[in-house]
Amino acid sequence: MTRIDAKFAALKAEGRPALVTYFMGGDPDFDTSLKIMKALPEAGSDIIELGVPFSDPMADGPAIQAAGLRALKKGMSLTKTLDLAARFRQGDDTTPIVLMGYYNPIYIYGVERFLKDAVASGIDGLIIVDLPPEMDTELCIPAIRAGINFIRLATPTTDDKRLPKVLQNTSGFVYYVSMNGITGSALPDTSRVAAAVQRIKKHTRLPVVVGFGVKTAEQAKIIGSAADGVVVGTAIVNAVANTINPDDSLVADPAEAVATMVKGLSSGVRASSASFAAAE
């Protein structure tokens, strides 16, 4: 049982959906992003998605792209992202960490070496945007062998015929991208999200979390009532960006800004517990 499995089991007992929070490693700099990461569990984040910056994030919107470029400019790398996770783990041995990014930095690092170092750094899962199931021999199978969950994205274009293929080697949870498009676009229709989650659940017993577009506690509450978890990414990345002046100086403490936002979102998912329990 990984930390991810344990967390979802605990949340099920509690009767509420998970709050999954994404932030970009190294944004606005290494030390500040470590502070942000450390603030997340206390503020109510159940699972942390740690973004690995990449020069060409072709499935991400302008906010996450800009965050990645800010991090890269400050010298962030995959090696340092693993280090960030390891330092977080020194003070927190339970909150699951999912590394999210693109394949090339891992491919260049070397898959076997990466998996060894990821395990040592306390990484529990991977979401690699540009590795569909057709490419499972690259990283997915070796990751499973190393005891790391490989979490897959399902989208509205993933039809019933394709879902089994997508879910075949997926573990930890399924990440339903609630609309076609890049990260940070507008929020979709809730009833359609609920229907899609139910559709996926016909094919798997894994928890299904929903992402793309959630910004407020109210939205988190509504989406949370229809799924096993809510992912918030772009809103958090924007909260960080809003604390940075054009000359790189800070107007406010990014960790505090993120904590305030996550506390609000957390109240949202906690309020959706009743309807979640009813749906079970």
Partner 1 sequence: MNTVIQPNSFKTGPDEEGMFGIFGGRFVAETLMPLILELQQAYDDAKNDPAFKAELQALSTHYAGRPSKLYYAEGLTRHVRQLAREQGLDGGAKIYFKREDLNHTGSHKINNCLGQILLARRMGKTRIIAETGAGQHGVASATVSARFGLPCVVYMGATDVERQKPNVFRMKLLGAEVKPVSSGHGTLKDAMNEALRDWVSNVEDTYYLIGTAAGPHPYPEMVRDFQAVIGTEAREQILEREGRLPDTIVAAVGGGSNAIGLFHPFLDDRQVEIIGIEAGGRGLDGEEHCASMSAGRPGVLHGNRTYLLQNKDGQILDGHSVSAGLDYPGVGPEHSWLRDTGRVSYVPVLDNEALDAFTLTTRTEGIIPALESAHAIAHAVKIAPKMAQDKIMIVNLSGRGDKDVHTVGQLLGMDI
Which of residues 105 and 172 has its CB atom nearest to partner 1 in the complex? 105
Radius of gyration of the chain (CA): 17
Which of residues 15 and 75 has its CB atom nearest to partner 1 in the complex? 75
CB of 163 to partner 1, least distance (A): 11
Phi, psi of 126 (to 5 degrees): -130, 140
Tell me if residue 189 is catalytic.
no
Which of residues 134 and 247 has its CB atom nearest to partner 1 in the complex? 134
CB of 87 to partner 1, least distance (A): 19
Which of residues 71 and 259 has its CB atom nearest to partner 1 in the complex? 71
Binding site for partner 1 (CB under 8 A): 54-59, 61, 65, 72, 77-79, 102-109, 129-132, 134-135, 152-155, 157-159, 162, 166, 177, 180-182, 185
Report d(CA 1, CA 51) in Å as an integer.
24
Which of residues 149 and 225 has its CB atom nearest to partner 1 in the complex? 149
CB of 270 to partner 1, least distance (A): 30
12 CB burial (10 A radius; 0-12, 13-18, 19+): middle
CB of 153 to partner 1, least distance (A): 5
CB of 76 to partner 1, least distance (A): 9
Task: Select which of 27, 46, 49, 124 is catalytic.
Answer: 49
Helix (H, G, I), strand (E, B) or coil at 141: helix
280 CB burial (10 A radius; 0-12, 13-18, 19+): exposed
> Side by side, which strands form the sheet with 208-211?
149-150, 125-128, 97-101, 47-51, 18-24, 229-232, 208-211, 174-177, 152-154
Tell me if residue 60 is catalytic.
yes
Beta-bridge partner residues of 100: 51, 127
Helices and strands, counts by H and E, the chain: 13, 9
Task: Select which of 27, 46, 60, 136 is catalytic.
Answer: 60
Catalytic residues: 49, 60
